[in-house]
Structures are given as structure tokens and as C-alpha cells.
Structure 1
């Protein structure tokens, strides 16, 4: 469904009521891949992921932040993530905790060498997913050059 974020379902006889949930929004979702560039929490016990893609100039650009990781996902990722230092393209960068906030997000850069499959809705603003994505699995059959 290219260009459609989702559909709103409502009773045609209902009226809008401020503060009440009478309508239902179903978002269009898709799976895609991103490079794991950083984590919240610690590298060995991550709580969420910051994902990116390399642009044509080879710069890693942030595309998404994940929802909190499940315990099995964190246990899978902790042993394979490698902490990065000042050589990381996001070292010293500031990201906000969410849309419309200036509160800084505390994150730990990791070597951008692992590809994750994610579940995302189709709402994208200037290359960045508007809503958090869900981590599905590592794509050890892909390299960062594949995406």
C-alpha cells in the first residue's frame, strides 16, 4: 500500500467525542532492515536499538529507534554487539528521546556491522520512521552493504 499509512475505521453514525476513543486506526506495516548503530541500556544488556542505513556518501544515518527489546532478543544481541568508541559516526551526537522533545537520549554506540530485520509502520519523515519499530531478528545472511 504505497503512500497509505493506514485506515481509520468508525461507525458512520458516530460523532467525534473529544477525549474518547470511538475510532480505530489500523496502520500499514512492513518488514525491512536496518544497521544496528547503537543501543540504549548497555551493550551487553540492550534495552532498545538505534538503527541506521548508510547513505551514498557512506555516512550512517539514523532511521529508527526500536521498542523495548524482549528478554530473549536482548539475550541474543548482548553477546554479539561490540562497543564502539570515538571512531563511531554517532559519537558525540545527540538524539532526542522522542518526537517534540529536546530531552537527550542516552545511548551506547556499537560497531555498525550487524543487520536487523524490523517491523515498521509506513509513516516515514525525511528517511526516519515516525514511530518506534519492532526488532524481529538478526539478519546474519546480510551485510550492511546489502541494505
Structure 2
């Protein structure tokens, strides 16, 4: 596979649907090369085949992406700005792939409920 510029990171929810969780900042040349050697293009049954993601928060322009087989767990660093669906609102930093973890070993992504700013009395 060609060396990716960024990664779209997904996580399975409780119903085993692969949901978008984050997008990385542009990858370093080293990370691009290493990931390009590891990632395999997904088949037509990948859940994101034909799905359009926006190129930026609030943007309407679609992000061009090539789904890959979801067999790796990526460690990343991000800020705390997460929307109600559990997606990071800002691009995250790719740290490394975690060879000691599998996607199935991760807890499911749960919808987040915004905490109430007011308490009822």
C-alpha cells in the first residue's frame, strides 16, 4: 500500500460497528513508510467503503480515504475535546501501533452523554 499521509482511526461500538474515532495529524516520513509497509487495502465489504468523511470539523468537503483492514490498534495522543459520539474533534498525534493489542481486545466505544451544566432541584 502507498504511504498514508494521515490515519482515520476507528473503534468498534457495542454492536460491533466500526465507528470513526479520530483523525491523525500529518504523519512523519518514517511513520508513513512503516505504516505503508504494514497496512493492507480493505476489501469491498469494509464498513467505510463508500462512506464520506468531512475534511475538517464543520467542513463540507469530503476527505479522500482508502479503507484498510482493521487489524491494528494505534496508540495516539489527543486533547480532551470529544463530541457526543466519542470522536476527537481535533486531529491527534500518532504515537505507535500496539502489537500487544488487537481491535477485539479493546472495550467498545460508547456514546458519550454531555454532563448537565445544571442540576435539577
Common fold, TM-score beyond 0.5? yes
Q: Which one of the candidate residues 87, 95, 108 is aligned to 2:45?
A: 87
Q: Does 1:72 align with 2:51?
A: no
CA shift for structure 1 position 85:
2.4
Paired position in structure 2 for 1:134: 93
| Deviating 4+ runs (over 6 angstroms) | none
Count of aligned positions: 105
Unpaired stretches in structure 2, ≥5 consecutive residues = 107-121
CA shift for structure 1 position 111:
0.3
Give the greater-gyration-radius structure (CA): 1
Q: Which one of the candidate residues 16, 33, 42 is aligned to 1:58?
A: 16
- The structure that is strand-richer by fraction is 1
Paired position in structure 2 for 1:104: 62
Unpaired stretches in structure 1, ≥5 consecutive residues = 1-42
* CA distance in structure 2 between the aligned counterparts of 1:128 and 1:117, rounded to whole angstroms: 15
CA-to-aligned-CA distance 1:76-123 (integer Å, 9 cap, x gap):
111110001211010110100011110000000000111110001011
TM-score by length of 2: 0.84
CA-based RMSD = 0.8
